[in-house]
Amino acid sequence: MRRNRCLYTTPRVCCSICSDAKLKDPFSLAQKDLQNLYEDIKKQLLVSKAELNALCDYYFDGKGKAFRPMIVILMARACNVHSNKEGALLPAQRSIAMISEMIHTASLVHDDVIDDSDTRRGKNTINKVWGERKAILAGDFILSAASMALARIGNTTVVSVLSQVIEDLVRGEFMQLGAKENENERFKHYLEKTFKKTASLIANSCKAVSILVNSDPEVHEIAYQYGRNVGIAFQLVDDILDFTSSANLLGKPSAADLKLGLATGPVLFACQQFPELHAMIMRRFSSDGDVDRAWQYVLKSDGVEQTNYLAQHYCQEAIGQISQLQQSTERDALIQLTELVLRRDK
């Protein structure tokens, strides 16, 4: 990985994101458009079999952050203003926000099966309650409903863009099952996996809503790159929280990644100070005491700090992209959102 110099400088405030003008909270700004989002998703999943309904509705309880739909809504309105529209949300753009949450949730259901997770968002996982087989089928069904909703939009380019997300999710999951011996390859592998598993959905959803209102490929690229950079930063912060936040705040056990045999950013940076971690990474922290020792090495190193610098770098890139759009309340909210991503604690 070609490391940016800013990763090794003295900590500073990420960036001067906000102007003197008071910015509206991104979540509040998108709230009206997101009203009844989960009820609308449940309508897409409605089938006659009561048990399948219960499985599919389980994570759509309205208690999620709706982070991805919120970004999609704000990006849609920002692109609409930029394209000399009134900024009003198109029905198809709201559908993409809904589809993004459905794809994300289906991936969570499948991830919990693969990881044999017991808790998600502070409650038992679907696989814990109903068993692995039914959980897999529920995830598949949510994906199929998302695909049907996508087809109804009727734009072949949008279908192609969002279909890429599902391919990336699968490829990212396969990448997570492997490990690289070479340190530089390992970091590149980690960032590519992070893009495919987390950022691709945000990037391609942002691109999709821009396609619906603007034919300019440069605008599509701005939307895509903003989503890509924010998505990677979001996951980097998530990887930091696995070391710094309590299980109660996270809604899942801390040190979960180490227990799954995964070497995330803080661990990979810690390797530079504690080479003993290399062997543990290659055996996926499977020997007795590996998880505890790796945890201690990370906390003694500047791995968390370096990962935070890297997240700041990606947020700076996101700001540089979105700043190319015409000024609007939604564009400014997307800029402000990068600060919220860096500051979140769960």
> How far is 140 from 312, CA to CA, in rounded Å?
35
Provide CB contacts within 8 A for 111, sequence distance 6+.
Answer: 117, 173
Strand partners, 120: 123
Query: Which backbone phi and psi does 250 adopt, to 5 degrees?
Result: -70, -30
What pLDDT, on the 0 to 100 scale, is given for residue 19? 42
- Give the pLDDT score at 217: 97
Residue 296 pLDDT exceeds 80 = yes
- Are 268 and 291 in contact, with CB atoms under 8 Å apart? no
Over residues 165-180, the mean pLDDT reads: 90
Q: Calculate mean pLDDT across residues 312-332.
A: 97
At 195-229, the pLDDT tens digits run 999 999 999 999 999 999 999 999 999 999 999 99
pLDDT score, position 102: 96
The yes-or-no verdict on residue 1 having pLDDT over 50 is: no
What's the gap between Cα 288 and its chain centre? Answer: 32
Of the pLDDT bands very low, low, confident and very high (cuts 50, 70, 90), residue 142 is very high
DSSP string, 273-303: T-TTHHHHHHTTT-STTHHHHHHHHHHHTTH
Q: How far is CA 160 from the centre of its chain?
A: 20
CB 158, CB 146: distance < 8 Å: no
Least confident range of 12-21, 48-57, 176-185, 321-330: 12-21
How high does pLDDT run on average in the chain? 89
Q: How far apart are CA 224 and CA 123, in angstroms?
A: 33
Q: Can you tell me the distance from the alpha carbon of 339 to that of 176, in angstroms, rounded to the nearest whole number?
A: 28
Distance between the two ends of the chain, CA-based, in angstroms? Answer: 28
Confidence of residue 96 (pLDDT cuts 50, 70, 90): very high
Q: Is pLDDT larger for residue 172 or for residue 85?
A: 172
- pLDDT score at 18: 43
The answer to whether the CB of 229 falls within 8 A of the CB of 311 is no
pLDDT for residue 263 is more than 90: yes
